[in-house]
């Protein structure tokens, strides 16, 4: 169960016995953070710190300020360092406060309960008709189709939340009110916004309607994608490659049921019996520098991700591929829908 971050906060000047009561409520992760009246991080405190203090003769009614760890690990919200998160995980530092530029705590995360804390915008493209899934999508938008009792869009959001993604934009068009009502019912709306398409805008055109992205990097994901992609690895490779855009690519194999001949002009010089070829195709998931969305995606105009890729390449920007060989499905057909049910059974 996720513990509200404020339940982990202890005010400076509190007694050790009061702090012990707070720690006792934190279950298997008994670590709290001491803050001043402005919520600024002052230190951390564990039950081990209290035990060691008592052995040294500290009284239970003394102030916690005397026994706190004064230099706790933390994450800076606007400068999240993924390498640092990975280092903390390796050192078994699993509970981390997130602080703003003033060093005030705005969140506390557990790396046992989530995999990372990615500083990205997530835009879910959920406006399509899903016509290949008729009649299932006659009255229900594709993102709300259920896979083993959970809608596709819920699976997408829950997967992203495992990686600490906090800010979401959801584009809607076809039966969009159903999607909006579903999200409003099941999620806190503080960091979820809806982008209403008045007309079909292609696979990335609705990004041109957004002017309030929160982060320098934006993840675009089609609202029908189910996958087990490691978003931390995807984001890290994107940053390490100094790319402007990264395309999640998936393998697509073609088997030829006949011998394929090799020629020198019209002379047969060899053949390959029933070969298979593997190509990598776009998986409908993209990471891109947010400023380039604003620069290249036109306002309220149909525009596809392939159009954006071509524009970026033509203008000298670096576009890279991130190859994903794990599970991936765009639930594009009734057969895909049935296979997804089996996959998540």
The domains of the chain, with CATH numbers, are 5-110 (3.10.580.10), 121-343 (3.90.550.10)
Task: Evaluate if residue 28 carries a pLDDT over 90.
Answer: no
User: Average pLDDT in the 318-340 region?
Assistant: 95
pLDDT confidence tier of residue 206, bands split at 50, 70 and 90: very high
User: Average pLDDT in the 17-27 region?
Assistant: 92
User: Average pLDDT in the 123-137 region?
Assistant: 93
| Percent of residues, the chain, with pLDDT higher than 70 | 99
pTM metric for this prediction: 0.90
Cα angle 146, 151, 157; round to 5: 160
pLDDT confidence tier of residue 79, bands split at 50, 70 and 90: confident
- Each residue of 293-316: pLDDT tens digit? 999 999 999 999 999 999 999 999
- The pLDDT score that the predictor gives to residue 275 is 92
Task: Evaluate if residue 113 carries a pLDDT over 80.
Answer: yes
What is the residue-averaged pLDDT of the chain?
A: 94
- Each residue of 246-285: pLDDT tens digit? 999 999 999 999 999 999 998 999 999 999 999 999 999 9
């Amino acid at each position: 169960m996720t513990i509200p971050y404020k339940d982990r906060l202890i005010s400076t000047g509190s007694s050790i016995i009061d702090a012990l009561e707070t720690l006792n409520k934190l279950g298997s992760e008994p670590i709290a953070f001491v803050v001043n009246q402005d919520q600024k991080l002052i230190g951390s405190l564990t039950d081990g710190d209290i035990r060691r203090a008592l052995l040294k003769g500290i009284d239970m009614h003394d102030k916690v300020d005397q026994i706190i760890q004064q230099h706790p690990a933390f994450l800076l919200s606007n400068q999240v360092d993924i390498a640092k998160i990975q280092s903390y995980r390796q050192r078994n530092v699993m509970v981390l406060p997130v602080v703003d530029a003033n060093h005030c705590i705005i969140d506390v995360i557990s790396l046992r309960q989530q995999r990372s804390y990615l500083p990205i915008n997530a835009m879910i493209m959920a406006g399509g008709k899903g016509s290949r899934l008729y009649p299932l999508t006659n009255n229900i938008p594709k993102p709300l189709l259920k896979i083993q009792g959970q809608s596709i869009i819920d699976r997408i959001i829950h997967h992203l939340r495992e990686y600490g993604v906090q800010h979401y934009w959801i584009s809607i068009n076809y039966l969009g009110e159903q999607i909006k009502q579903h999200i409003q019912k099941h999620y806190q709306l503080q960091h979820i916004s809806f982008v209403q398409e008045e007309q079909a805008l292609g696979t990335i055109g609705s990004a041109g309607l957004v002017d309030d992205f929160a982060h320098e990097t934006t993840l675009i994901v089609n609202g029908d994608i189910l996958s087990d992609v490691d978003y931390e690895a995807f984001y890290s490779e994107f940053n390490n490659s100094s790319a402007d855009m990264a395309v999640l690519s998936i393998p697509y194999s073609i088997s030829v049921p006949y011998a394929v001949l090799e020629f020198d002009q019209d002379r047969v010089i060899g053949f390959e019996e029933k070969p298979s070829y593997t190509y990598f195709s776009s998986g409908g998931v993209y990471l891109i520098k947010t400023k380039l969305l604003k620069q290249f995606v036109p306002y309220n105009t149909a525009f596809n991700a392939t159009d954006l890729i071509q524009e970026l390449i033509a203008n000298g920007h670096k576009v890279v591929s991130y190859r994903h060989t794990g599970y991936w499905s765009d639930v594009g057909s009734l057969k895909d829908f049935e296979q997804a049910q089996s996959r998540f059974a």
